[in-house]
Structure 1
Amino acid sequence: MADVTDPNIAEAYLEVRSDKSETNWLLLDYESDRSDKLKLTQTGTGGLKELQSLLDDGKASFGYVRVSFSNDEQSTREKFALVVWIGPNCKVMRKAKVSVHTADVKNVLRVFSIEVAAREKEDLNEDPIVLRMRKAGGASYDGI
């Protein structure tokens, strides 16, 4: 089991979800290579692109991000994604534990439209993620 009891995690989650906050992502990392305790590493306002730039190829991390997109000029939607990052140079034992730890993370970062399993930074390009969010979002009037 992953330890996700750091109160900063729950606080940052609420901040990302808040319409009154500009913070639109958070990043969780393990305290050390051998630890199963997750800590809040960083938050930001630069969306997927900023989160993507901070991921370490040698680590496994969890991200939570608010993505804004519009179907037309009159409407904007905001959806949330849970990012499960396993860098291409991540150690084998850490990779093995991530699937089990994801369930624990989902108990804290509860509300999201899609889960993104990212192994390469390109897996976090915004266009394919927005497309998946549109498909998960219900009624679509633009043929998606």
Structure 2
Amino acid sequence: MSGADSPEILAAYDAVRSDKDETNWLLISYAAATGDALKLTATGTGGLEELTTKLDDSQAQYAYVRVEYANDTESKRVKFVLVIWIGEGTKVMRKARVSIESGAVKKALGHHSIQVDARDKGDLDEKDIVARLRKAGGADYNGGRG
């Protein structure tokens, strides 16, 4: 068992999903260089910008992020994003296993609007992600300009 459904990870997941908690992201890393054991690495309240500072270029990691954006002056939407991070320096065998091992993470962090496969911190640009969320949500109040 990978540990993706550990009490610490599930508690952080609930915090990110809660409207009453300021936590808006969590980060999961592998507990060791080999094996599939996962652990909660960090949580925070600074959104995608803060999360990207915690990503490790030598690791594969998983993140879950709450993204809020305005559709218009009257309404705000909340969506959730699953990030599968594979840093440039990640070892080949770890990269190869992420597609298999990410299944346990997807199951534990089940509710998300989109999945972002990130290899570079530029893949986590908030404007691009909000544009993808608008498309995934079906309603586009900006004529496709995100």
TM-score (norm 1): 0.96
- 1:136 alignment partner, SS class: helix
Aligned identity (percent) is 56
| Paired residues of 2:85 and 2:118 also in contact (CA < 8 A) | yes
4+ residue segments displaced more than 3 Å: none
Q: Are 1:25 and 2:25 an aligned pair?
A: yes
1:130 aligned residue: 130
2:77 aligns with 77
Whether 1:38 aligns to 2:10 is no
Mapped partners of 1:46, 1:2: distance in 2 = 27
**Does the aligned pair in 1 maintain the 2:134–2:140 contact within 8 Å?**
yes
Root mean square deviation of aligned Cα: 1.1
Deviation at residue 141 of structure 1 after TM alignment: 3.3
Q: Which runs of 5+ in 1 are unaligned?
A: none
Q: Is 1:13 the counterpart of 2:7 in the alignment? A: no
1:134 corresponds to which letter in structure 2? R
Aligned partner letter, 1:74: E
Residue 115 of structure 2 aligns with an amino acid whose one-letter code is: E
State the distance in 2 between where 1:123 and 1:96 align. Answer: 20
In structure 1, C-alpha distance between the alignment counterparts of 2:130 and 2:81, rounded to whole Å:
10
State the partner residue of 1:92. Answer: 92
The whole-number CA distance in structure 2 between the counterparts of 1:18 and 1:95 is: 32
Can you list the C-alpha shifts for 1:39-82, whole angstroms capped at 9, x where unaligned?
10110000001001110100000000000111211111110000
Partner residue, 1:48: 48
**Structure 1 residues 141 and 125: CA distance shift in structure 2, 3 A:** closer
What is the DSSP-based 3-state SS (H/G/I as helix, E as strand, rest coil) of the residue aligned with 2:108?
coil
How many pairs are equivalent?
A: 144
Structure 2 counterpart of 1:112: 112
SS state at 1:72 partner:
coil
TM-score, length-scaled by structure 2:
0.95
- Structure 1 residues 109-118 or 29-38, which shifts more? 29-38
Deviation at 1:110, TM superposition (A): 0.3
